[in-house]
Structures are given as structure tokens and as C-alpha cells.
A and B are shown apart, each in its own frame.
Chain A
Amino acid sequence: MKIECNLEKLRETKPGEYAMRFAFGGLVTAIASWVGIKYGPVVGGLFLGFPSILPATVTLLQKHEEKEQTPAQKREAKNQAGDDSLGAAIGSFGLLCFGLVVWFFGEKMPVLAVIAVATLTWAIAAFAAWLLVMVAKKSLEAKQPGRRVAKRKAA
């Protein structure tokens, strides 16, 4: 599976859409902080895993891709938004590992070191989980070649 980076995609996002993401992200962060202050770190900590990026991202993704007008292109736009969500489900494993590192080392290491190790762990765990899922998917498709053809026909 080849990973591609297309910086041109940044031009498709309008200033208002960047502002919407900023506001939504800021609001969710402020609410998470307020819950922590009001109800303590046990309940507040739950909100560190609240979906702050995904809702706006998948909505914008589908909106952008839907500019393509044919039914096939619209179908592909939905697939892309769906894939983005499923990728986030895989990436949540990385977030879980981030929390694990903070829980384990929170009291034993300086703050910045904990955050740095946890972030590195998130990146490695999320990428490893994604790689594992992609390899498993590919091997499943290789074992059932008819599955992919049937899927294409159904589409």
C-alpha cells in the first residue's frame, strides 16, 4: 500500500472551513478541560479521547469530493469519508497507547519527556496497527479473489 502526500489538497479547503475546524477543536478542548476542573481527572481524562478531529474532517472530505458530479464520483466521495473514519478507528489504538504511557510514566518522568514519549508511542502504534490491518486485508483478498470482483460488480 503506497502512501501519497498531495499538498494541493490544502488549496481546496476554504478559510471558513479552517476557521470551523479551529473553533470546533478549541471548543471540544475547552469543554474537556472544564469537565476535568469540575469533575476531576478521572472523568476529565475520558474526554482526552473525544472525537475532536473526525466529524469535521469526514464532512469536509465528502463535501470536497462531491464536487465531482457523476454518480460514480459521488460514490467514491462517500467511500473516502468512510475510509477516513475506519482509519481513525485503527488510529484509536495509538491513542490508547498514548494514554497507557502517560498513566505509566506520568509520575516517574518530567512532563515534557512524558508527552514526547507518549506522542512517539502514538505515532508508532497507530502506524503499526494500520500496517497490520492493511496486510491482513490484502492477505484476505488474496485468499478470496472473487470477493473483490463481486464487490466491484455490486458497486
Chain B
Amino acid sequence: MGDLAIRFIIGGVVVSIFAVIGDVFKPKTFAGLFGAAPSIALATLGLSMMQKGGQYGATEGRSMMLGAIGLMCYSLAAGLLVRKARWNALPAALTALPAWFIVAFGLWATALGGSQ
């Protein structure tokens, strides 16, 4: 529980830093790059690797690539809903969320055979 609390605080700080960096830049397509920053990875990967070793981190890194493809599809879907379909940002960001789960877990099931 204490470990999760530490990760909560570090994660909150890292996500806030990247979000603030994204706020100040223009054009927004450039600022958006910081919306896909490795915030969770920076907050947790170092701790995980120190506690459980390099192999654990390498395995997480491989899966992270699939999560990143999911994020690409999610961001694209959210962006198109706002830009082309003229949805408001919050409903678009929430409606597109299943895209991340479908792509990330779909790739996990196919490319990694659903292994743990």
C-alpha cells in the first residue's frame, strides 16, 4: 500500500509536469507531443527495475510498445471526433477510451499470445 502511495505521488507529479509543458507551447499539434510523454513509465519503471531487476523492466518495455500503439489509436480517434465530427473534448476523450483497450489488449492477445 505504501509503495502504491509513493507511485501515486510520483505519477501525479510527473503527469502534471508534462501537462504544464504542453500547456505553454504552440502550435497545439506540437504541444500534443507531451500528451504522449512517458509519464507513467518515468514514475514507475525505475522503481520496478530497482526492486525486480532488468528483466522485469525489459518485459514491461516490450508490452509498453503495444500500449503506445493503443495510445496512438486512442489519440487519433479522440482528435478526429473533435476535429471532424465537432464533438466536445470531454465526451470525445471518454468515448475514444475503448479504442485503447481494444488495440492494446488485442495486440497483447495476438502478438504476445495473451501471456502473463
Task: Mark A residues whose CB is within 8 Å of B.
Answer: 1, 3-7, 9-10, 13, 18, 21-30, 32-34, 36, 39-59, 61-63, 78-96, 98-109, 111-112, 114-115, 118-119, 122, 126-127, 130, 133-134
Task: Mark B residues whose CB is within 8 Å of A.
Answer: 3-5, 7-16, 18-20, 22-46, 48-50, 52, 54-76, 78-80, 82-84, 86, 88-90, 92-94, 97, 100, 104-105, 108, 112, 115-116
Taking a contact as CB atoms under 8 Å apart, the answer to whether B115 and A87 are in contact is no
Provide the bound-state CA to CA distance between A101 and B58, in Å.
Answer: 9
7 residue pairs bridging A and B, Cβ less than 8 Å apart: A1-B30, A25-B14, A49-B65, A85-B32, A99-B41, A111-B49, A112-B46
Task: Given A27-B8, A48-B44, A87-B31, decide whether A98 and B38 contact each other with a Cβ distance below 8 A.
Answer: yes
Residues on the A chain within 8 Å of B38, using CB? 48, 94-95, 98, 118-119, 122
* CB nearest to B83 among chain A residues: A82
Residues on the A chain within 8 Å of B112, using CB? 42
Main secondary structure of the interface of A (DSSP, over half): helix
Scoring B55, B59, B70, B116 by chain A CB atoms within 10 A of each residue's CB, the highest score goes to B59
6 interchain residue pairs of minimum CB distance = A87-B32, A29-B11, A49-B67, A25-B15, A45-B63, A102-B61
Taking a contact as CB atoms under 8 Å apart, the answer to whether A115 and B116 are in contact is no
Scoring A21, A25, A42, A50 by chain B CB atoms within 10 A of each residue's CB, the highest score goes to A25
B54 to chain A, nearest CB (A): 4
Residue A84 contacts which of B11, B31, B48 (CB distance < 8 angstroms)? B31
Residues on the B chain within 8 Å of A90, using CB? 29, 32-33, 36
* CB nearest to B93 among chain A residues: A55
Task: Given A47-B40, A51-B74, decide whether A5 and B83 contact each other with a Cβ distance below 8 A.
Answer: no
Residues on the A chain within 8 Å of B105, using CB? 46
Residues on the A chain within 8 Å of B15, using CB? 21-22, 24-26, 28-29, 52-53
